[in-house]
A and B are shown apart, each in its own frame.
Chain A
């Protein structure tokens, strides 16, 4: 409870600022309407009533966004093309598929890098360099290429998500697989442990904290990748954002944005839960 008070205060301040900003940013429209109807300009006290419930506000007020979120999540059948559940499912399936593929490939490459010096020296600099490059710029092009090859939208998205989640996992896992100390490696050598046992009993277990740290980055990156990939597609939260921006449906944009934020939070939190469970079971929890 003691830790919640400052957070709640900050959230409250954000909410208050949002309401004030909504009044301020939507006021020109209210003034404009009054001028067109030849009425006197609305007074300051009337402004909240006129600005917080507009149909197409510049900045929708928080309760409008939540109402839209609830309406398009629970108010419609999930199969409807207007339902956010449908769009969120489209996004999530791409995210998870891409995340699974990207993480698996990333772990495999990291194992290769740790066990093969030539591979490390050739690939690792490029893997690190690729972190400094705006990989997302590739997304639209990958979409075209995948379309030309005849891939489904889901596969296109998954490829982009996999690509984005791949590099954090490689970099983190290389660090993790290298984290056992010389003493521990030496001990296994005195046991005459074969290479396989060194990997399964020492390197892999001690890489787990690093693995989960990069998983949390990778799943967030996967989601961003899926959303950006959907900018060129028909369904999904990204498509919803773009449609909203084409048709000036600000409330719809904010609702999609909130849902993607919630998705990101849930995914990262799930990863954190699994991390806590695994690390506790392995006696590595800090």
Chain B
């Protein structure tokens, strides 16, 4: 029979205690509970990670404790910031802006032609499901190692989800509403800007939110295929060679923060733009 050693008992006891606390907390209905419970869970995981790694003296090459990662984040702020600028602000954001703008414009352009729609929608849906990251090596070859190639990968990755969603959105206004615009003798562009684009916004933002994650993924993965000596993807591959796992975790933490902040920013804009939509009413 396996004997449980005291370290495992401690960890299990801590886990059980945190779980009891959470199940008690989750019986409450107040607002702060909704934030407290996931927070307790997250902190428990971190503590278990820290204590578990230390108690069992796990090799730091396999799993560094969170305190090491935090220390690394603090000590190499300039490097992390330079990587973030290179990958996120130059690569991901510029590609995101170009790709999303292009997708919305193309959607508006082909919206006028049912023929093009019938042809492009299935193709777009198909392409949106493909492993597009695979084009990264090709685009890196074409556009060089710097952030331009990363932006190009991001453009291709975000284009189709946004295109498909925008086309669906432009069809979202109802016939009655469009008829009303016609009775006002509104021109095509007036109908577009006053009715159809606002009505399409929930769909467009759905695509834009999906695209935030894709943008960061595209920029990071493209750097695995070649990059200047900075950038998150570069740092991850370089630190793998040196077994600097704490630095990799630090980069991942930064990527997670940047990704969540990016998503949150888009969601915030969405709340401002589509304040009228049922999903935004509280």
Q: Are A245 and B137 in contact (CB under 8 A)?
A: yes
Tell whether, in the assembled complex, residue A122 and residue B40 are in contact, meaning their CB atoms are under 8 Å apart. Answer: yes
**B131–A121 contact, CB under 8 A?**
no
CA distance A227 to B224 in the complex (A): 13
Q: Do B255 and A260 touch (CB < 8 A)?
A: no
Contact with A along B210-250 (1 / 0, CB 8 A): 00110011001100111000001100110010010100110
Contact status of A227 and B134, CB under 8 A, knowing A133-B255, A140-B237: yes
B123 to chain A, nearest CB (A): 5
> How far is it, in angstroms, between the C-alpha of A256 and the C-alpha of B251 when the chains are bound?
30
Measured between beta carbons, the chain B residues less than 8 angstroms from A216 are 129
> 5 closest A-B pairs (Cβ-Cβ)?
A6-B119, A245-B137, A122-B41, A10-B119, A118-B23
| Docked-complex contact A253 and B137, CB < 8 angstroms | yes
Interface residues of A (CB under 8 A from B): 3, 6-11, 14, 25, 58, 116-118, 120-126, 129, 131-134, 136-138, 140-141, 143-145, 148-149, 216, 220, 223-224, 227-228, 231-232, 237, 241-242, 244-245, 248, 250, 253-254, 256-257, 260-261, 264-265, 268
Q: Which residues of A contact B273 (CB under 8 A)?
A: none
Residue from the list A116, A120, A137 in contact with B236, Cβ < 8 A: A137
B39-75 near A? 1/0 per residue, CB < 8 Å: 0111000000000000000010111000000000000
B263 in the interface (beta carbon within 8 A): yes
Across the interface, B130 reaches (CB within 8 A) one of A132, A143, A232, A264, namely: A264
Interface centre among B27, B221, B225, B240 (most CB of A within 10 A): B221
- Asked if A257 meets B224 with Cβ closer than 8 Å, knowing A7-B118, A122-B22, the reply is no
Chain A: CB-nearest residue to B258: A134
CA distance A25 to B237 in the complex (A): 31
| Cross-chain contact of A11 among B117, B123, B224, B259 (Cβ < 8 A) | B123
Q: What is the minimal beta-carbon distance from A227 to any residue of chain B, in angstroms? A: 6
Chain A interface SS verdict (over half):
helix
Residues of B within 8 A of A148 (CB): 59, 61-62
Q: Is B98 an interface residue (CB 8 A)?
A: no
Contacts of B123 in A (CB 8 A): 7, 10-11, 14
Interface positions of B from 120 to 155, Cβ below 8 Å from A: 120, 122-123, 126, 129-131, 133-135, 137-138, 140-142
A106 to chain B, nearest CB (A): 18
Determine if A141 and B249 form an interchain contact, defined as CB atoms under 8 angstroms apart.
yes
Distance (Å) between the CB of B48 and the closest chain A CB?
Answer: 13
Q: Would you call B11 an interface residue if the criterion is a C-beta within 8 Å of the partner chain's C-beta atoms?
A: no
Supposing A10-B119, A118-B22, A118-B37 touch, asked if A133 and B131 sit within 8 A by C-beta, the answer is no
CA distance A188 to B150 in the complex (A): 55
Interface residue B115 (Cβ < 8 Å from any Cβ of A): yes
- Please list 26 pairs of residues, one from A and one from B, whose beta carbons are closer than 8 Å in the complex, sorted by A's number: A6-B115, A6-B118, A6-B119, A9-B115, A117-B26, A117-B27, A118-B19, A118-B26, A120-B26, A122-B41, A132-B259, A132-B263, A133-B255, A133-B259, A133-B260, A134-B217, A134-B255, A134-B256, A141-B248, A144-B243, A144-B245, A148-B59, A148-B62, A224-B133, A253-B138, A261-B130
A138 to B248, CA, bound (A): 9
Chain B residues positioned under 8 Å from A265 (CB to CB): 126, 129-130
Q: Considering the complex, give the chain B residue whose CB is closest to the CB of A144.
A: B240
Contact A223 B131 (CB under 8 A): yes
Residue of A nearest to B232 (CB): A137
- Name the CB-closest residue of A to B18: A122
CA of A260 to CA of B260, assembled, Å: 29
- In the assembled complex, the CB of A251 is this many whole angstroms from the nearest CB of chain B, namely 11
A129→B260 contact, CB < 8 A? yes
Give the contacting residue for B131; candidates A6, A248, A264; CB below 8 A. Answer: A264
